Amino acid sequence: MDATTVIAVICSVVVFAGWLVLPHSPATVKPAVVVSEEREPARVSA
Amino acid sequence: MKIDSGDTAWVLASAALVMLMTPALGFFYGGLVRRKNVLSTIMHSFFILCLISVQWVLWGYSLAFGPDKFHIIGGLEWIGLNNVGFTPNPDYAPTIPHQAFMVFQMMFAVITPALISGAFAERQRFKAFVLFSLLWATFVYDPIAHWVWGAGGWLHQLGALDFAGGTVVHISSGVSALVAALVLGRRIGFGKQKVEPHDATMTVLGAALLWFGWFGFNAGSALGAGALATSAFVVTNTATAMAALTWMTVSWWHKKQPSVIGAAAGAVAGLVAITPASGFVNVMGAIVIGFGAGVVCYLAIQLRERIHVDDALDVWAVHGIGGTWGALATGLFATVAINSTAANGLFYGNPKQVLIQLLAIGAAWGWAIVGTFIILKVVNLFVPLRVHEDEEILGLDLSQHGEPAYASINAN
């Protein structure tokens, strides 16, 4: 196994193992901003 | 020289893939700005596709790839595609028509100034943008492209490795973006009011299309349909995925939530970083490059925020720093087992390659900083770089183009 492979394995382990200690859910929940979904048809010239 | 139909088909298809990246960039950037500026942001990319397409055939290709003059610029012998026909050019691509190589390179020249537009989004006057883009493509991009890729270019002769544009495309644009952000100054309200992306879905779609087009960017740079193109394709996808995973993990740890826009930005950072290395590294090298891109580009954004530079869409952090990391990593992980015409990097017994890569990085940073600063100051003599304050508050879609992006939604 060459040095590049060793470093690549370490990088992958850091990322994958990192998920075990990350938060399960958001720390704070912001209320969603509701915007009207109603749209008037755009006027187009013929 | 005999034209290879397979190679020609792949390079032409790749040119089309890279062409798609510029409007994709428009959507990536367009989603990140406020809704009053989305059309103007998309227009930057769309307009540059038109502008540089014409500049390139008139004089850009000749300056970048024409017969060498003093190892720093191409001559004017190929202006208007004079002497650029269908016979292959052995200096660049011996198995495809010369014009196929030319049009493939055109798409690189197109997307590079479009990348910069993210730095001055939401405040630059359109007319100033037009002049800046034309001058920048001519005096910054074309010379750097000649140094690195042109037959006789001084960095090319020194042995600098840049398979698909980490130095030529991403360092040049990312560093220029930082200069542009500093010269133009901050947007009104920067740091006082939070600027939220107006459409994250548009940004993710843009990132996905960039990822798709990037296969043409990197695998197409093999200039043939064979093993090297396949390797470039595989390492491009691997590094991109690894960078997105890494960025998302780092931001999840830092901000306590896995950001969707972060995953998209991480993917783009990975694409940037693997670009110079894509024809020289194996898949393990790609994983390290992707990991590094996710970490260093994320940290660069934190630094940019801390020093209050309004590089609106983080072009410097993603392209400037990502491209720098990729160019340096090429000097670390390149191996002749992948590309026998290149050189080994530090990890394969050739520490000198790192020094050559650092020289190329320094030259690109220096030329981009000086060239961009001068061009901006010259343009400002004729056209103010920024819109008026009331135009900026109204939004560039209405003030510059007279068109709202969304007909009935309040423009904010």
Per residue in B191-214, pLDDT (tens digit) is 888 888 999 999 999 999 999 999
Q: Do the Cβ atoms of B283 and B235 come closer than 8 Å?
A: yes
Per residue in B222-265, pLDDT (tens digit) is 999 999 999 999 999 999 999 999 999 999 999 988 899 999 99
Q: What are phi and psi of B46, to 5 degrees?
A: -65, -40
Among candidates A5, A26, A39 on the partner chain, residue whose Cβ is nearest the Cβ of B408: A39
Q: How many CB atoms lie within 10 A of CB B137?
A: 24
Do the strands B73-74 and B68-69 form a parallel or antiparallel pair, or are they unpaired? Answer: antiparallel
Query: What are the structural domain ranges in chain B?
Result: 5-401
- Is A42 close to B408, i.e. CB distance below 8 A? yes
Domain assignment present for residue A45? The answer is no
Q: Do the Cβ atoms of B206 and B20 come closer than 8 Å?
A: no
Measure the CA–CA gap between B182 and B59, rounded to whole angstroms: 30
Q: Do the Cβ atoms of B11 and B101 come closer than 8 Å?
A: yes
The pLDDT assigned to B1 comes to 77
> B412 and chain A: CB distance < 8 Å anywhere?
no
Closest residue on chain A to B257 (Cα): A26
The pLDDT assigned to A45 comes to 60
The pLDDT assigned to B407 comes to 77
- Is A42 close to B285, i.e. CB distance below 8 A? no
The pLDDT assigned to B410 comes to 52
CATH superfamily of B5-401: Ammonium transporter AmtB like domains (1.10.3430.10)
Domain count, chain A: 1
Closest residue on chain B to A44 (Cα): B407
Which residues span the domain enclosing A18? 1-40
Instruction: Using pLDDT thresholds of 50, 70 and 90, give the confidence band for residue A12.
Output: very high
The pLDDT assigned to A40 comes to 58
The token pair at B224 is 């043939």
Residue range A3-31: mean pLDDT, rounded = 83
The pLDDT assigned to B192 comes to 84
Q: What are phi and psi of B293, to 5 degrees?
A: -60, -45
Domain assignment present for residue A19? The answer is yes
Portion 287-346 of B in contact with A at CB < 8 A: 287-288, 291, 333
In this model, does residue B411 exceed pLDDT 60? no
Instruction: Using pLDDT thresholds of 50, 70 and 90, give the confidence band for residue B393.
Output: very high
Measure the CA–CA gap between B357 and B139, rounded to whole angstroms: 22
> B194 and chain A: CB distance < 8 Å anywhere?
no
The token pair at B215 is 């296969």
For residue B124, the cross-strand partners are B386
Output the pTM of the full model.
Answer: 0.93
The pLDDT assigned to B23 comes to 97
In this model, does residue A28 exceed pLDDT 70? no
Average pLDDT, chain B: 96
Per residue in B14-42, pLDDT (tens digit) is 999 999 999 999 999 999 999 999 999 99
